A and B are shown apart, each in its own frame.
Chain A
Amino acid sequence: MIWVVLTFTFVIISIMPGDPVRAMYEQLIQQGYSPQQAESETALLHRFRPTGNIAEQYVEYIGSLLRFDLGQSMYTRVDVGDVLLDAAKWTVIPVLLGTILSFGLGVFIGVYAAIKRSSKLGDALTMSGSLLRGIPDFVIGLTLAAIFATLWPVLPRAGAVDIRYEPGFNLDYIFSLGYHAILPVATYTISAYGGFILAMKSSVVTVLGDDFILAAELRGMKRSIIFRYIARNAILPLFTVFALSIAAVFSGAIFIERIFNYPGLGMLLINSIGRRDITVMAGALLLITIAVIIANIVADMFYSVIDPRIRRAGERV
């Protein structure tokens, strides 16, 4: 699978039109650089373009990856591995945080919506889930940015932290990190929340009709114990949805980070495509694709681990 991803990444990048040197030259001309100034700025890039035919480039690419060598950025000459690691923290942490928040909210509200499914509030909660599930995450991001960063500018629209604060374990820096993360994390949370509500409500409704719940009620068990039975059984499918949501949100980060100029992997990928920074583009594309695949595999494995019925069914076969 990984080999397929590697090859696919290589093919996409190889067939992508656009010369990085020419791109940078014309961008500088657009910015008002004279042709001589632009030539001077781009002179060294010529030396870092891929050489050889497509087969040689492919062998070199695979060989480098086998040596865990992702190469260097054409523009900054920094190792791509370091560039990716630096960007990954700005994607992984907000994505995880947003997904966990939406999971918690979705589970809680989903259970409530299922129990109150015949009430207006239950209908309203279900409808909110359906609506949010249908809205693309970038629309949610743009809406939040328009409201809280432009019309009523109380939250920052760009960056991950205020540069004036010394990086480290100090309150100013941590507060600044949180303050800048509010809009991206809120976007991830809202965009995944609808799916969790609907899945949880549906799961709870199914479990409510199971015989063991009826038996528990007939035996006169306490409501809190019955609720625990419902929750433990109903939440199982949600873990799969959770892992899949991480994958979906991770790939959606490309748009969200673009909206908030948040310096994660998605932003890195977009910038590298615009500049045709081939090595960074390949690295970012590879990492995002592999992360999504791994999240899907983990979802599959996790489900069989936490649900004894799946495990036993597998053993019988």
Chain B
Amino acid sequence: MRLAWVKNHPTSPTEFYPGLASEWEVSDDNLELTVTIHPDATWSDGTPVTAEDVVVSSNIAYTRGSGAFILDPGAAGAASDIEVVDDKTIQFTQDPENPTREFVNGIMNMTIVPAHVYGDLLPADFEQTLEAARGDDDAADDAREAVAEAGEAVVGFAPEEDISAGPYVLERINPSEALLVRNEHFHNDHLVAPDQVIVRSYDGNEQVWDYLRAGELDSSHFVAVPADVVQQIEAVPGNEASRTYSPVVAGLAFNQSYEPFDDIHVRRALAFALDREQVVNIASPDGGVAATTTSGMHQEVLDAWVGGAAGDLEPFAYDLDRAAEELEAAGMTQEDGRWIQANGEPFEVPIQVVSGFSDWIAAGENMATQLNEFGIDSEILTAPDFTVYQEEMAAGAYPVGFWLIGLGPSPYNIYQRLYGQSNGWQVLAGQLSYSEPGEDGNWKGGPETYEVEGHGTVNPGELAHELRTADEARTNEIMTILAQTTNEHLPVVQMWDYVNTQFSNNTRFITDPPDDARRVTGVTSLAGIWIQQGWVTAVE
């Protein structure tokens, strides 16, 4: 059970739905967070949830280095102090050296475990080790290693019975399913409709489609579903689909170490030559919306941050004449209907996709067809699985390939994806550095700085890094500059914004969460959150 669930608001990272925390207060300077545990919060064995549980959970979080619980010197958004105010109240203080807006998010997202079950797993002197680990000398390095090692005992620990402060307790589990039964000690038990929940594992989207077509699921989280299967699913009595914002964008990324993709005219030509509407209609008609432009952001986030200025961005609407002009500007000529580079070689665009990613494969095939019809030799190449794809892409093996971007709504996350390690910028000990293309994971191979109209020389990596600590006004300014930089220089061509399509069946239960509760991320099952908030009700 978590303290709270992050709403993923497009511009505000500090909005939550309550979990174990009933109240939270953030100081004006964003350096202090005071959390109050729900007065009736109780573990399933009848033990009250207290501040001690939160402290033990924070210590365990330090062993993983997760959220705000980071011990690396210079780490941004790290908690520097945790103080128990009373039995139900805890105050967290952010390190003032490198504060971030996501600090609160990193605390509230924390999973709380029972101190009377997990407390003894950490060494008795763990608090002292933590204190020693906050330095930057050799002793601190040793202490950090000791903290991380302490985490191994936690990971290897399996309590004999599940002790939960949430709406359910795990009754039994097998490799395919888990049975959860009502926790009558849950503080909001009166809001919980189902007495039991069966959670099914799945091994591929097709299996979820089968469950949905058979009407076997009361709720399903997002899976990519082709249009014909959506129709079959919606034809089942009681089945309903909801569609909402998903903070993910599919982009066609370039490795600019390969010629001619280092030429902006070539990248612009490809942006004009691809009919994104057609691509999406074929590849993911129900799970995506064709990108209106390339900004590095989902359209909804772009509107929220950049507002009216978004209209000034080049939309790269499908236009083969402009595509031809750009290729000619890149020194290419057309012979017998095929585009030839200045060096006499035919212009070839290999599009890398991944086996099993049906939407990427269908999109890649359509894009290759469109490019071939335009006179550019293009084909799709398929990596055997996503792990290999990631490794080979990071090693610079692919000139062109699909890449997820716009991982919002956090501004830092969005542009870190475009102007982070994959493009040469990385943070070590809190310091930003740049590596040349081909080094330290820089596979996109873009330049360190760009000339951007109206903004002069822009270092996008520095600006993206600054987003972590910038206040709202500065964040707004940076988002506008980076959207324009991305639009002018196209490290990727934005193909489609994902749509979060979720299914439920209202035969037995009505599932009706508010729209922003469908956007919560980082959880195995959104339905679990909706149930405990009272948004899943039994049919009378």
A binds B: yes
Instruction: Give A contacts to B, CB under 8 Å.
Output: 17-20, 22-23, 26-27, 29-37, 39-41, 43-44, 47, 72, 77, 86-87, 90, 149-150, 153, 157-164, 166-167, 258, 261, 263, 267, 270-271, 273-274, 276
B413's contact among A31, A35, A77, A150, by CB below 8 Å, is which? A35
Closest A-chain residue to B77, C-beta based? A36
Q: Indicate if the CB atoms of A32 and B203 lie closer than 8 Å.
A: no
Q: Indicate if the CB atoms of B416 and A18 lie closer than 8 Å.
A: no
Q: Indicate if the CB atoms of A158 and B200 lie closer than 8 Å.
A: yes
Q: Indicate if the CB atoms of B65 and A159 lie closer than 8 Å.
A: no
B202 proximity list for chain A (CB < 8 A): 158, 261
Within 8 A of A (CB), among B183-230: 196, 198, 200-203, 207, 210-211, 213-214, 222
Contact A35:B67 (CB < 8 A) given known A261-B207, A271-B203: no
Query: Would you mind naming 16 contact pairs between A and B with Cβ atoms under 8 Å apart?
Result: A18-B388, A22-B391, A26-B390, A29-B407, A36-B410, A37-B109, A37-B522, A44-B64, A44-B155, A87-B175, A157-B210, A158-B202, A159-B174, A162-B177, A164-B196, A261-B201
Sample of 14 more A-B contacts, CB < 8 Å, known A34-B407, A43-B65: A19-B391, A23-B386, A26-B390, A32-B500, A34-B247, A36-B413, A37-B109, A39-B66, A161-B176, A167-B172, A261-B176, A261-B202, A270-B203, A273-B385
B222 proximity list for chain A (CB < 8 A): 31-32
Q: Interface of chain A, helix or strand or loop or mixed?
A: helix
Within 8 A of A (CB), among B508-540: 521-522
A72 proximity list for chain B (CB < 8 A): 156
Within 8 A of A (CB), among B473-505: 500
Contact A150:B213 (CB < 8 A) given known A22-B391, A27-B386, A163-B198: yes
Contact A18:B385 (CB < 8 A) given known A33-B522, A47-B148: yes
For the complex formed, measure the closest distance between the CB of A176 and the CB atoms of chain B, giving whole angstroms. 11
A149 proximity list for chain B (CB < 8 A): 210
Q: Indicate if the CB atoms of B386 and A161 lie closer than 8 Å.
A: no
A23 proximity list for chain B (CB < 8 A): 386-387, 390
Q: Indicate if the CB atoms of B176 and A158 lie closer than 8 Å.
A: yes
Q: Interface of chain B, helix or strand or loop or mixed?
A: mixed
Q: Indicate if the CB atoms of A37 and B521 lie closer than 8 Å.
A: yes
For the complex formed, measure the closest distance between the CB of A29 and the CB atoms of chain B, giving whole angstroms. 6
Closest B-chain residue to A43, C-beta based? B64
Closest B-chain residue to A90, C-beta based? B175
Q: Indicate if the CB atoms of B390 and A258 lie closer than 8 Å.
A: no
B392 contacts chain A at the CB level, 8 A cutoff: yes
B179 contacts chain A at the CB level, 8 A cutoff: yes
For the complex formed, measure the closest distance between the CB of A212 and the CB atoms of chain B, giving whole angstroms. 53
- In order of increasing CB-CB distance, the 5 nearest A-B pairs are A40-B66, A18-B387, A159-B176, A263-B175, A37-B522
Closest A-chain residue to B520, C-beta based? A32
Closest A-chain residue to B223, C-beta based? A31
For the complex formed, measure the closest distance between the CB of A148 and the CB atoms of chain B, giving whole angstroms. 12
Number of interchain pairs (Cβ within 8 Å): 135
A163's contact among B64, B109, B179, B246, by CB below 8 Å, is which? B179
For the complex formed, measure the closest distance between the CB of B385 and the CB atoms of chain A, giving whole angstroms. 6
Closest A-chain residue to B178, C-beta based? A163
B32 contacts chain A at the CB level, 8 A cutoff: no
CA distance A77 to B158 in the complex (A): 10
B106 contacts chain A at the CB level, 8 A cutoff: yes
Q: Indicate if the CB atoms of B179 and A164 lie closer than 8 Å.
A: yes
Contact A160:B174 (CB < 8 A) given known A32-B500, A43-B65, A44-B64: yes
Contact A32:B198 (CB < 8 A) given known A261-B203, A263-B176: no
Contact A77:B155 (CB < 8 A) given known A32-B500, A150-B210, A153-B214: yes
CA distance A261 to B204 in the complex (A): 10
CA distance A271 to B202 in the complex (A): 11
B102 proximity list for chain A (CB < 8 A): 36
For the complex formed, measure the closest distance between the CB of A227 and the CB atoms of chain B, giving whole angstroms. 46
B325 contacts chain A at the CB level, 8 A cutoff: no
B394 contacts chain A at the CB level, 8 A cutoff: yes
A86 proximity list for chain B (CB < 8 A): 175
A276's contact among B155, B200, B387, B522, by CB below 8 Å, is which? B387
CA distance A30 to B105 in the complex (A): 21
B151 contacts chain A at the CB level, 8 A cutoff: yes
Q: Indicate if the CB atoms of A47 and B109 lie closer than 8 Å.
A: no
B152 proximity list for chain A (CB < 8 A): 44, 47
For the complex formed, measure the closest distance between the CB of B216 and the CB atoms of chain A, giving whole angstroms. 9
A19 proximity list for chain B (CB < 8 A): 387, 390-391
B387 proximity list for chain A (CB < 8 A): 17-20, 22-23, 26, 274, 276
B210 proximity list for chain A (CB < 8 A): 149-150, 157-158
CA distance A35 to B66 in the complex (A): 11
CA distance A159 to B404 in the complex (A): 32
CA distance A164 to B213 in the complex (A): 22
B338 contacts chain A at the CB level, 8 A cutoff: no
